[in-house]
Amino acid sequence: MEQPPGFVAQGEYRGTVCRLKKALYGLKQSPRAWFGRFSDAVLTFGLHRCQTDHSVFHLHSDFQTKDLGKLRYFLGIEVSRSKEGINLSQRKYILDLLEETDMLGARSLDTPMDPNCKFLKEGELFRDPGMYQRLVGKLNYLTITRLGIFYAVSVLSQFLQTPRISHWDVIIHILRYLKRALGLGILYRLNGHLRVEAFSDVDWAGSPLDRISTTRYCTFVGGNLVTWKSKKQTVVARSSAEAEYRAMAHTTSELTWLQHFFQEIGFPAPIPLQLFCDNQVALHIASNPMFHERTKHIEIDCHFIRDKILSGDIATPFVKSADQLADVFTKSLCWSRLKPICFKLGLYDVYAPA
């Protein structure tokens, strides 16, 4: 064992470490230690590490690899191919989850949660927090392909320590929604272009506990969804425009990273990269440096989006709220709104009858 990089206990000898009384596996440091050992080994075999993502390694030009055939199943994710494209789904994973919770015979629902549901730290405590935590973890893994449950699961994750019965009811609601279309997954098509696009949205003061806004965004490459994220902002926004502007800054960082990543692997994306936002005031702030009185309280690092716009790397077109795809990550939607967004995000059920 070694001390983590940058950590030296004050007053202690620099080489002092904790004495282990159990195996490394199961500790928080085990993933870092294992990846360090793995990366050192593969680098000696002729692989090159990607600088924009250290978990990606490039093959050397003369490094031989073995073709193991087409991928069909990996870590609970089913991969199927058709003339439409490549589809990723978790049908078996959902069936196992429904069987574990005795929900195979339950009636299915159209939405992952009630649009009027409020998440509060009130009400009767749930009797088994361990079961709640385990199911939320499994549902979180399902968000890889089932984007419709992303918002509900992200909020449920905030109550892992003291879950209420009302929170457990939302889990049951999600399971009944998953039963409605077991084979629903993400379809990746060959659309004939490599444009990089992003949709940025925010729920201003959406948390009833601290009134902090949450940034949500999703990015597309070649018309296919590749990344999505939900993250609470660090400060309370004074207006919806400020919250949207901060969300645009976070999304710009993601787009910049994608641009560098594709350049490094030899697939430069056409510029400018498109960042769609449905708040006109936030778009004006991003392109107009004269909004000083309205933005002087915002951290300087948020304004780097202006430099990206001036350099031509980023373009910020307006998108109507009705066409804002990131809505599925910011709020609970009714079926009539959820269905078209999921379709535009690329969700497709390969098991649906023709």
Whether residue 74 is predicted with pLDDT greater than 80 in this model: the reply is: yes
Is 114 buried (19+), middle (13-18) or exposed (0-12) by CB count in 10 A? middle
- Taking only the tens place, the pLDDT of each residue in 216-243 is 888 998 889 888 888 777 777 777 778 8
Strands 196-203 and 214-221: antiparallel
Identity of the amino acid at 58: H
Decide if 269 contacts 258 (C-beta within 8 A).
Answer: yes
Task: Taking residues 12-35, report their average pLDDT.
Answer: 68
Q: CB-hemisphere CA count at 13 Å for 231?
A: 15
Confidence of residue 1 (pLDDT cuts 50, 70, 90): low
Q: CB-hemisphere CA count at 13 Å for 26?
A: 4
Whether residue 49 is predicted with pLDDT greater than 70 in this model: the reply is: yes
**Residue spans of alpha helices (H) in 158-204:** 165-180
Confidence of residue 38 (pLDDT cuts 50, 70, 90): confident
- Taking only the tens place, the pLDDT of each residue in 100-134 is 888 888 888 888 888 777 777 777 888 888 888 89
Whether residue 333 is predicted with pLDDT greater than 80 in this model: the reply is: no
Mean of all residue pLDDT scores within the chain: 80
Task: Taking residues 318-337, report their average pLDDT.
Answer: 80
Task: List Cα–Cα distances, 162 to 37, 143, 157, 181, 335, in angstroms.
Answer: 38, 23, 11, 31, 30
Whether residue 246 is predicted with pLDDT greater than 60 in this model: the reply is: yes
The Cα–Cα gap between 313 and 316 comes to 10
Ordered by where they begin, the domains of the chain are 1-65 (no CATH), 74-185 (no CATH), 193-319 (3.30.420.10)
The whole-number pLDDT of residue 20 equals 64
